[in-house]
Amino acid sequence: MTHGADGRVVVVGAGIAGQQVAFGLREQGYAGAVALVGDEPGAPYERPPLTKAYLRGDIGPDELEPRPAELYRRERIDLVRARAERIDRAGRTVVLDDGRRLPYDRLVLATGARNRPLRAPGGDLEGVFSLRTRREADALREALAGAGSIVVAGAGFIGLEFAAAVSAHGHKATIVESRARPLGRAVSAHTAAHFTSLHERHGTGFVFGEEVAALHGDRAGRVREVELTDGTVLPADLVLAAVGAAPDTRLAEGAGLPVDDGVAVDARLRTRDPRVLAVGDCASMAPASGTGPRLRLESVQNALDQASYAAERLARPDEGEDAPPYGRLPWFWSDQYDSSLQIAGLAAGHDRAVLVGDGDEAFSVLLYRRGALAAVESVNRPADHMAARRLLAEGRAPTPEQAAAPDFSLRAFARAGG
């Protein structure tokens, strides 16, 4: 069955979310025109390997591209390599930087997020890098060949994955983090302690509770030192700024669409203009219940799930308010050295943590909020992760007291139906 034979969907942003919308439309039987707008040269690619396999040199550029150019032609997806400058909502067109105007019946913003700059004097010196695009990863790989002292500003996932990747080639980084532990906003204290120890065993150094105050360079304009807020000076001829990201809301703001830590969308991913949707890292979603805070997630799986949902809705526009609201369970992962972290659910605001497992190299942490299971962090326990996803999706879970029992097994609990 085909849908929307006369329509035209324009997707702005050719990252993983934008790609999934475009191909998801075809999978859903959408027969109208589809255009995918991306401002980077070459075929669309995947970003997650940039901090891991690609940076290590384990894979090449072609292996970053999940779909060959021929597939876009076969699926009749028009790849538009240009920068979207503005949205003309009245005329239902997207204006590109080369002067072209793309008409749309439905528009999807998948503009992602942009790295926050390192706001310190000297942040523009040569040798100071960000890591989000393939071009930045290529520049980093080239610079690493001659790097001696490496400083990473920020102990989030990007900073830690970068440190792990470069360690494989004998580089030892020092990570500067303003909080008291790594992944401070993302994981529990026990999981953070595991990754601190893991990195230290591989030679990574940490400075907690401080920030980068200034970067100092030589006469050629190349970074040589990083000065911290306590006056400590670290030698550095390569600095990675990994201090977080901000949603790219430029187009939405220019079009007069509401923005609230991202492009504001409802529980069906629609902006205030029902012809414009937003998905992925740039989207700030209202809760389906109508009450509670907005939620914006920066994760691969969230981007893919929201994009698939948007494709379903666009292929079936007549469903309208009868369509179920978006409600996929969030889950995340990160691979560092020989440790694999998998997280199901959202841990923010948890008030109790229960450790399951040996507590050292393979364990899970069950995180509760007001007595209800909110999230499960699993390190090197993939079966626990799958069990956690099942339990959270079904809305059933062990009590904190059950989980704290010496012989408790999350997998057995899930198999037993609670």
pLDDT computed for residue 168 by the predictor: 85
Where is the domain boundary, 217, 243, 269?
A: 243
pLDDT of residue 6: 59
Query: How would you label 293-304 residue by residue, b for 16+ Cβ within 10 Å and e otherwise?
Result: eebbbbbbebbb
CATH number at residue 151: 3.50.50.60
Residues 291-319 have pLDDT tens digits of: 778 999 999 999 999 999 999 999 998 87
Specify the CATH number for the domain of residue 358. 3.30.390.30
CA dihedral (61, 62, 65, 68) positive or negative: positive
Average pLDDT over residues 237-264: 97
| Range scoring the smallest mean pLDDT among 107-111, 272-276, 320-324, 402-406 | 320-324
Q: What percent of the chain has pLDDT over 70?
A: 98
Please report whether residue 1 resides in a domain: no
Strands (DSSP E) contained in 218-291 are: 223-228, 233-235, 238-241, 245-247, 263-265, 276-278, 283-285
Q: Tell me if residue 201 falls in helix, strand or coil.
A: helix
Q: Are residues 15 and 108 in the same domain?
A: yes
- Kindly state whether residue 330 falls inside one of the protein's structural domains: no
Please determine, for residue 244, whether its predicted confidence score (pLDDT) is greater than 90: yes
Give the model confidence (pLDDT) of 154-213 as tens digits.
999 999 999 999 998 899 999 999 999 999 889 999 999 999 999 999 999 999 999 999
Give percent of the chain above pLDDT 90: 88
pLDDT tens profile 82-96: 999 999 999 999 999
Banded pLDDT at 1 (limits 50, 70, 90): very low
Residue 160 falls inside a structural domain: yes
Decide which of 278, 297, 322 is a domain's last residue.
322
Residue 287 has pLDDT above 80, yes or no: yes
Residue 324 pLDDT > 90, yes or no? yes
Q: How many domains does the chain have?
A: 3
Task: Give the burial class of 386: count Cβ atoms within 10 A of its Cβ; 0-12 exposed, 13-18 middle, 19 or more buried.
Answer: middle
Residue 418 has pLDDT above 70, yes or no: no
What is the rounded distance in angstroms from the CA atom of residue 365 to the CA atom of residue 193? 12
Give me the amino acid identity at 328: R
Q: Does residue 98 sit within a domain?
A: yes
pTM over 0.75: yes
Across all residues in the chain, what is the average pLDDT?
94
Q: Check residue 360 and give its pLDDT.
A: 80
Asked if residue 237 and residue 384 are part of one domain, the reply reads no
298 within domain boundaries: yes
- Segment 386-409 shows an average pLDDT of 95
Q: Is residue 196 part of a domain?
A: yes
Residue 3 has pLDDT above 70, yes or no: no
Q: Long-range CB contacts (< 8 A, 24+ apart) of 400-404?
A: 400/352, 400/354, 400/366, 400/368, 400/371, 403/354, 403/356, 403/366, 404/354
Same domain? For 308 and 401 the reply is: no
The encoded tokens of residue 312 equal 């379903």
Do 104 and 250 share a domain, yes or no?
yes
The verdict on 151 and 88 lying in the same domain is no
Clarify whether residues 254 and 110 are in a common domain: yes
Assigned domain for 2 exists: no
Q: What's the rounded mean pLDDT across residues 41-64? A: 91
Task: Say if residue 306 is in the same domain as residue 358.
Answer: no
Distance CA(97)–CA(189), nearest Å, equals 47
Does 298 share its domain with 355?
no
pLDDT average, residue stretch 68-92 = 96
Domain that holds residue 310: 8-114+246-322
Q: Are 172 and 205 found together in one domain?
A: yes
pLDDT on residue 292: 78
- b/e for 344-354, b at 16 or more Cβ within 10 A? bbbbeebeebb
φ, ψ at 193 (rounded to 5°):
-65, -40
Q: Please indicate, yes or no, whether residues 29 and 145 belong to a single structural domain of this protein.
A: no
For the segment 340-360, what is each residue's pLDDT rounded down to a tens digit? 999 999 988 899 999 999 778
Query: Rounded to whole angstroms, how far apart are CA atoms 89 and 276?
Result: 9
Q: Is the pLDDT of residue 144 over 50?
A: yes
How would you write 78-121 as a 3-class SS string?
EEEECCEEEEECCCCEEEECCCCEEECCEEEECCCEEECCCCCC
For residue 222, the one-letter residue type is: R
In a domain, residue 225? The reply is yes
Distance CA 214, CA 153 (A): 11
